[in-house]
Amino acid sequence: MDAIARIPPLRLDRSRQAAPQVFEALRELIVSLELPPGTVLPRGELAERYGVSQTPVRDALMRLGEEGLVDIFAQHATLVSRIDIAAAWRAHFLRRSLELELVRELAGRPPDAMATLPARLREQIARQARAMAAQDFAAFTEADRDFHRELYEAAGMGELFTLMRQRSGHVDRLRRLHLPAKGKAQAVVRDHKAIVEAIEARKPEAAQAALRAHLAGTLTYVDEVRVRHPAWVRG
């Protein structure tokens, strides 16, 4: 109940349906670990907190269940799911496969086709640097997500970003647990710079090498997480 009381109010955009907005808000709280594994999500209390009926809350919880981020026990309770290590590995494999091809494709394009991409990517890196200086991990994560979204959209593959994100909830929670580790945020920024430089220099192999190095450590700390948070993980 305390976790629900800490959920920030939701300012609904009345031009959009409520259910997707409730879904997005809850998903962000789960992935950021503001709602940690095991948290009970009472439909009625969530509806009251968000100022909506129980129908959009129910629909949002069902979508979260489809992504494996909540466990729904009919007529009993809905809980934030434990982090599924096997699902995290699958999402990591998918992301690495997609993004290796993305950076190769982008680095191989003629300069006039990539005129604004390096600047857009560097803006996300600058956002990350500011967030890192402020120790604002939520803002850092948002800028990190936007950096990678820029790659997908520049390649005309925005729908694949949506697909990848739908499967990334478990690995994103693992990454969020590891982000405060000493040197982790700095390494992310350094890797992003290397990816941009390779794309701008039109060096596909270097871009892939930078991307591969960037993602290489994503799940190397799973055993540490198991020790530190045994009740939060499964698999």
Q: Which pLDDT belongs to residue 181?
A: 82
**Residue range 84-234, CATH number:** 1.20.120.530
The pLDDT, as a whole number, for residue 2 is: 74
| Whole-number Å distance between alpha carbons of 172 and 17 | 26
CATH 1.10.1040.50 is right for the domain spanning 2-81 = no
Which of 74-78, 90-94, 178-182 is modeled with the greatest confidence?
Answer: 90-94
Q: State mean pLDDT over 162-191.
A: 92
Tens digits of residue pLDDT in 45-68: 999 999 999 999 999 999 999 999
Contacts of 102 (CB under 8 A, 6+ apart): 151, 152, 155, 157
- The answer to whether 213 touches 225, Cβ cutoff 8 Å, is no
**Quick one: the chain helix, strand, coil %, rounded to 5?**
65, 5, 30
Residue 8 has pLDDT above 70, yes or no: yes
Give me the pLDDT at residue 178, please: 85
Find the mean pLDDT for residues 143-168: 95
- Identify the band that residue 218 occupies on the pLDDT scale cut at 50, 70 and 90: confident
Q: Which pLDDT tens digit goes with each residue over 99-154?
A: 999 999 999 999 887 889 999 999 999 999 999 999 999 999 999 999 999 999 99
How far out from the chain centre does Cα 212 lie? Answer: 18
pLDDT band for 220, please (50, 70, 90 cuts): confident
pLDDT for position 39: 95
Percent of the chain's residues with pLDDT above 70: 100
pLDDT tier at 72, thresholds 50, 70, 90? very high
Report how many helices (DSSP H) and strands (DSSP E) the chain contains, helices first: 12, 4
pLDDT for the residue 21: 95
pLDDT of 112 reads 83
**197 or 4, greater pLDDT:** 197
Instruction: Inform me whether the pLDDT recorded for 226 exceeds 60.
Output: yes
- Give the model's pLDDT for residue 95: 95
Domain assignments of the chain as residue spans, ordered by start: 2-81, 84-234
Does the pTM surpass 0.85? The reply is yes
Question: How many residues are present in the chain?
Answer: 235
pLDDT attached to residue 67: 96
Region 207-226 average pLDDT: 91
